[in-house]
Structure 1
Amino acid sequence: MSGTDRESTERPHLTIHYRGPLGSCNYGCPYCPFAKRKATRREVLEDSAALTRFVAWAETAPFTLSVLFTPWGEALAYPRYQAAIVRLSHLAHVQKVAIQTNLSGALGWLDAANIGKVGIWATYHPTQTTRPRFLKRCAELRTKNVSFSVGVVGAREHFAEIAEMRAALPDSVYLWVNAFFGRRSYYTPAEREWLSSIDPHFALDTVRHRSRGQACAGGHTLISVDGDGTARPCHFIGDVIGNIYDADFAARLSPRPCTRHVCDCFIGYAHLETLNLRGTFGAGLLERNPLLGQGL
């Protein structure tokens, strides 16, 4: 074992959900507040500076790291996010770097990345792109051997597209379905059964998981980080733990039960110990790919 590898294994592990100031998107989904919003020059500069600082911190962080970029908008439209993923993927102490994306942009930049450490959480928006165009991007990811998942919102008007997408994707690509605004009552029993045949884990997303007082990775081995470096247990809890750029930050991490009554978003409930989704999704947890958990 090299000195670098030995140092990495001795560090505690930390998963980070990073969401900087970016708040713009090239898509116009009607339910999204950032739909078709173009960032101002000032916002671009602020987001770029925050991302640069975060990557520089990650290079010498006192942890082994897994990083999921969860932007408000489409981050891969910007070369700085592509470069950040490439850089992080080559760091010995980074185990995984993943991003949520609409998969609308070119993917050539992935050729410079350490592909074994990259994950793509791709969402198909039937009203914003065509199925052939999206599938072409998926085929590129497969050719590049990138771990990725594909998802879609389970609105009734999308059912036909969900069926077509499942038929078009190989079995080696997991297709997840987000319950329409988490409303279990929205679906008939037959619809729930059909959607579960598409996504074996669909039922998880129809439940508002009781989380208050439950053990969770949030605030201990998982944190949400904003552009200023402010850390919170997760995106859904406003309590500030500290700032990752403070010298004593590591000491602020500790086990803490969830303070929310319920948790109904995958990037939150995936880290509840009662659900053991780390055991289900394995190395594919960040990009929502349970097939890696099955050793595929």
Structure 2
Amino acid sequence: MNNGQVHTNLIKTEAKRLGFLSCGISKAGFLEEEAPRLEKWLKNGMHGEMRYMENHFDKRLDPTKLVPGAKSVISLLLNYYPKETQPQNTLKVSKYAYGTDYHFVIKDKLKSLLNFIQEEIGAVHGRAFVDSAPVLDKVWAAKSGLGWMGKHTNLLTKEVGSFYFIAELIVDLELKYDTPVTDHCGTCTACIDACPTEAIVEPYVVDGSKCISYFTIELKNEIPTAFKGQFDDWMFGCDICQDVCPWNRFSKSHSEPLFDPHPELLSMTKKDWQEITEDVFKKIFKKSAVKRTKFSGLKRNIDFIK
């Protein structure tokens, strides 16, 4: 067994020990097939006011520009599917934001994995990425065989579904590379049919500027009145395209205590949300990603849904 295989086995075993759902590895290099797709998506304005998507075009497509000498992209999945979800007939928060902000939880695990690699293998240089740098994480995860890109553009995995976070370690270490899996969406159009704002404009293409998650999280200005009545009670994020996906019948609840919600989150009624005070907001979302939208942003979303 060569070093690349030995090191790969070590890394995958440690990733599992740290609680990651799975780990796949790709050769770092320029994502040639993604360039025209990304260019067209940006040109058509499907990123809305997410201007940061226009930045670092070359880095977005080539991890060796982010980490000099990079040889491998280690992609990792971390399950966030909750044991309990919010009750019916209330204002809803996307499941990924129930507990502690995933950036902090995953960053700590990634640092531990990188430290392990450096201790066990030697002088390896690398960087950890959690949705916070120009990395096409879903593309790398698919390249690494962790799943395929569904028609809703989320990564899907057989027997698991899609309720997981994706993160990367980009390292200057040669490893054994995985191969992509095949697409298993078939003729299903459940996600396309269910999207209330028709954001999935065609299979595998999402117009981000029409997505409920975009309106409730990314958009800083007023939500366009044309979308009034189309939010299906989602006040932060949206899980509709994942909830209706047949592959998510395999979702199993996570085992990460930090992702457990504040108890009040699960007991709030629609009336409670409509009357929420800043103190209650701070208490329920003290460590949550919902803090990104601030109290004023959440109030704006709630008022829009009324």
TM > 0.5 fold call: no
Q: Which structure would you say has the larger RCO, counting Cα contacts within 8 Å and 6 or more residues apart?
A: 2
Select the structure that is richer in strand: 1
Q: TM-score w.r.t. structure 2 length?
A: 0.27
Q: TM-score w.r.t. structure 1 length?
A: 0.28
* Structure index of larger Rg: 2
